[in-house]
Chains A and B, each alone.
Chain A
Amino acid sequence: MKRLLFAALTALAALAAPQVQAQDQPGPLRITITDGVIEPIRFAVPNFVARNAAAGDIAQDITRVISADLANTGLFEEIPQDAHIARVSSFDSSVQWSDWKAINAQALITGSVLVEGDGRLIVQFRLFDVFSEQPLGEGLQFVGTADGWRRMAHKVADAAYSRITGEDPYFDSRVVFVSETGPKDARLKRLAIMDYDGANVQYLTSSDSIVLAPRFSPDGAQIIYTSYESGFPRVTLMDVASLQRRTVGGETQNMSFAPRFSPSGDRVVYSAEASGNTDLYALDIATGATTRLTSAPSIETAPSFSPDGSQIVFESDRSGQPQLYVMPASGGEAQRISFGDGRYGTPVWSPRGDYIAFTKQTPGRFHIGVMRTDGSQERLLTGAFIDEGPTWSPNGRVIMFTRETPGAAGAPALYSVDITGRNLQRAATPAAASDPNWGPLLN
């Protein structure tokens, strides 16, 4: 147990904030975020055993998704199945430790899949620390429906990830984004939703009117976004299940945009423009009452709540160019937190509360970066022609954003990077895509 755990925590160390502790760790962890490339943990996932004929294909599919979830984090390296020596034909047979050690597997995941006559799907799994020859945690069983097999695979991978890293899970989650088609000067935009890994894309709107920057409610049941459906940009609230939508807030202004939910889900903070001046407002969803939070001749936009709901970080050009500020959630005096060279925008508070992610513009280049919530320890994670609009994974360890290529043929795509700046990956979407927002972990 110790050895796997130690390896896992070493990997974690580079990723994690200093306050991360592990129960079995003998002393406090020392974390160096600027560490070089970490050594990924080598894991093996033999195909989950199909307990009946109906489970055959699904068992293989589930195994593949679990593998991809773990490998895509960059923290784990899969040992290909054709390198495995041991063959697992029964979920309850004893583990052939020497066979797994021989191929340097550190973690082993085994499982079984049963499809019941009534269509229910039962997935069982176990996680083992190969070098200590011990299970890592209890075996688990998930019960669902066959069409939910991907979610069950994500649940298995989430459990393995959490047990090994000590981090909260994030694979069983969804992303809402804007799907884009058509030429650059007449782009067609539609709201779409997908699993975090790009599977199960569903479109939520037609492409008849421009839609921008959707954001999930904390429970994932609603999406708030900016729509030109009325002819003018308006904050719009959509119910994900029914797709019913309505304009909210800002009826008296020319335009309302950049909405984001409070952590409790009962308020929305957004920008509205009147007579050319953009300020921040809060909307009480239940009553529809709006409160003005800022009154300055400068642009105030891109607000985001702290996870405890007490503060709002936002972007303002009151100093002459866009910078980041933090103020109480009810408005009031704001403290500037960004002081580096360049322009700062789209700040987003991490769900863990430890960092603020942002977009930074330097001459001819955009970056995604993170800083402490007081503005210290700024680190740029990416750089490209246009990188903008970060969103956090539910566990605050991965950031997804929009990367757009230049020129007439330029198009946006979704990318992710972990908070150390490693493991930059392009997300698979069916068309060009922008403005991702990562929803909560599903239940």
Chain B
Amino acid sequence: MKTLPLILAATLALSACGDRLGGAGGVNDDGFAGGAAGANGAIVPGSANDPASPAYFQARVGDRVLFAVDQSTITPEGQATLRGQAEWLNANPSYTALIEGHADEQGTREYNLALGGRRANAARDYLITQGVDATRLRTISYGKERPLEVCSTEECYAQNRRAVTVLAAGAGV
């Protein structure tokens, strides 16, 4: 855990780069390049087929949950995603996670920061109920500062009202 602050700082710097995958900071995208299996059929370590990889977490488990307008209640779909996240985190104890809360642009800057804080904590609380150690989970709110989709219709807003679980390699990696 000693290395956590440094790692988190690196995570933030990356996630601020506007990656369309959103909040994927600290995790490289190798797993998405179609690198399914090696020539001999073995699982490529670190690919989305490697169940212990962050790429797998992002692509297969699902790194985000979405929220209704103004709400921070975890939906049934969100609960399923978070149960998968908890299972993964419990199986991979060397990782910590920063949960980013976001809001759509239909709200004032201040209110959306608070709302993002609520959403990130709702996801964190659910992960804790699923057995994830609270000390492995931090939260941050970006309010409406980092939209994933940039159109100004509900189609985009629905994707932007989100809590994203961003993995960081903790102690032992």
Give A contacts to B, CB under 8 Å: 182-187, 209-210, 212-213, 226, 228, 231-233, 254-255, 257-258, 271, 273, 275-278, 299, 301-302, 315, 317, 321-322, 343, 345-346, 359, 361, 385-386, 388-389, 404, 406-408, 410, 435
Contacts and interface: CB of A to CB of B under 8 A. Distances in A.
B109 A389 contact: yes
A213 B110 contact: yes
Interface in B81-138: 105-111, 113-115, 117-118, 120-122, 125, 138
A361 B107 contact: yes
Interface of B: 5, 8-9, 12, 16-18, 20, 70, 72, 105-111, 113-115, 117-118, 120-122, 125, 138-142, 145-152
A325 to B, nearest CB: 14
A213 B117 contact: no
Contacts of B113: 212, 226, 233, 255, 257-258, 271, 273, 278, 301
A213 B139 contact: no
B10 to A, nearest CB: 10
Contacts of B115: 299
Contact of B117 (A226, A255, A346, A407): A255
Contact of B109 (A212, A273, A317, A321): A212
A345 B150 contact: no
A136 B134 CA distance: 71
Contact of A231 (B8, B105, B109): B8
B111 A302 contact: yes
Given A388-B109, A389-B108, A408-B150, A275 B121 contact: yes
Nearest to B19: A186
Contact of B111 (A345, A404, A406, A410): A345
B152 A406 contact: yes
A183 B20 CA distance: 12
Nearest to B15: A186
A60 B152 CA distance: 46
B152 A407 contact: yes
- Greatest chain B CB density within 10 A among A273, A275, A404 is at A273
A226 B125 CA distance: 26
B111 A185 contact: no
A327 B141 CA distance: 27
Given A185-B150, A186-B17, A361 B106 contact: yes
A273 B111 contact: no
Listed from nearest, the 7 A-B pairs whose CB atoms lie closest are: A186-B18, A276-B121, A406-B152, A278-B114, A345-B108, A273-B117, A299-B114
B158 to A, nearest CB: 15
Contacts of A361: 106-108
Contacts of A254: 117, 138-141
Contacts of B107: 343, 345, 361
A301 B111 contact: yes
A301 B152 contact: no
B12 A258 contact: no
A44 to B, nearest CB: 44
A258 B110 contact: yes
Given A232-B140, A315-B111, A186 B122 contact: no
A255 B125 CA distance: 17
Contact of A183 (B120, B125, B138, B150): B150
Nearest to A184: B150
Contact of B114 (A232, A273, A321): A273
A435 B20 CA distance: 26
16 contacts: A183-B150, A212-B109, A231-B5, A232-B140, A254-B140, A257-B113, A273-B113, A299-B118, A301-B114, A315-B110, A322-B111, A343-B107, A385-B152, A389-B109, A408-B150, A408-B151
Contact of B12 (A231, A315, A389, A408): A231
Nearest to A410: B152
A210 B109 contact: no
A255 B114 CA distance: 9
A399 to B, nearest CB: 15
B109 to A, nearest CB: 6
Contacts of A185: 18, 20, 146-150
B150 A276 contact: no
A277 B109 CA distance: 16
B150 A301 contact: no
A435 to B, nearest CB: 7
Contact of B18 (A183, A210, A257): A183
Given A231-B12, A233-B141, A407 B111 contact: no
Given A186-B16, A187-B145, A276 B72 contact: yes
Given A183-B150, A186-B16, A276 B111 contact: no
A228 B109 CA distance: 14
Given A231-B12, A257-B113, A301-B114, A407 B108 contact: no
A408 B17 CA distance: 17
A311 B154 CA distance: 38
A255 B108 contact: no
A388 B107 CA distance: 9
Contacts of A271: 110, 113-114
B121 to A, nearest CB: 3
A388 B94 CA distance: 43
B122 A276 contact: yes
A413 to B, nearest CB: 15
Nearest to A385: B152
B147 A184 contact: yes
Contacts of B142: 210
A210 B145 CA distance: 8
